[in-house]
Amino acid sequence: MGHKLHLDQNEKLAMFGVTHVIAIDGYSSKVVAQATMPVKNNLVIYEDVYRSAVVNYGMWDQVRVDHGKEFYLTLFIQEILASHRHCQDKPPYHQTTSTKNHMVERIWPEVNSRVNYPLKEALIQLTDQELLDMDCNISRYCVSNLTRHLSEIGMRRVIDAWNAHRIPGKGIPNQLAKDGSLKKVPEGLLPHAAEAADLYQKEVGHSLRRVSCFGTDPLQLDEKFSVERLFAETYPDMAILYNSLVNKDFKPFQGALGHLINITKSHI
């Protein structure tokens, strides 16, 4: 473990404010970090995916990504830390087309079938029936918020199953990755996202978007707490909504979304 770290994004639900980014170790095939966000964002990807992976497992000799701008901060810090790698005979990162990042591409069909496609089908059903207005910023915010929460439940299940399954001719990812990378680095060498973005702007001369939103959050903090409390009174267990979705019963999720939009609007 620790030779190549493959990062990739999945935007099957981007039109509804959900994007997944995962990191997989090339040797073990273990998913070592993942994040689900409203819109792909350099700081979130760096903090929750790359930094999380390195803090928990150690340095990788090379990071592999596509040519997307969302990985700029990750590659910037990987290059800064290049001297801390175990093997330094190759560039600290390599950019290729997403379809050639075969290591990551193998898990996306599982994510799509068990997470993205059920959610997408349920949401498209609402838009086709004109029961959901995606031109409304408040609706967009609520759709992204609830869909993201359910996606995270699904992603955890898919990744846990992936990391525990046996890959023919290779082994079980969790077991292959149990010792981590050969080269560990002190956590203090990895700045948090805001500090890393400041350093990027100073060194490169370009600023990165700090926060990426989908729709408009119309609520003040106390109003947000009130909406969350009211929603939880009716839907206390989000896993139940997800379980219904994957079993092709879209009504509970669709009803929950309508309820969230209505109580959000009532607090404005």
The full set of domain ranges for the chain reads: 4-204
CB 20 within 8 Å of CB 35? yes
Write down the pLDDT at residue 215: 86
Average pLDDT in the 157-165 region? 98
Write down the pLDDT at residue 217: 84
Name the E strands within the chain.
Answer: 4-10, 19-25, 31-37, 62-65, 93-95
d(CA 26, CA 233): 44
Instruction: Report the percent of the chain where pLDDT is more than 70.
Output: 98
CB 138 within 8 Å of CB 215? yes
Average pLDDT in the 82-88 region? 95
Q: What three-state secondary structure class fits 117?
A: helix
Tokens of 107: 């898990």
Write down the pLDDT at residue 219: 86
d(CA 60, CA 164): 22
CATH architecture of the domain with range 4-204: 2-Layer Sandwich (3.30)
Helices 117-128, 251-266: axis angle to 10 degrees equals 60
> pTM for this one?
0.94
Write down the pLDDT at residue 56: 97
Q: How far apart are the first and last CA of the chain?
A: 51
How many CA within 13 A on the CB side of residue 239? 2
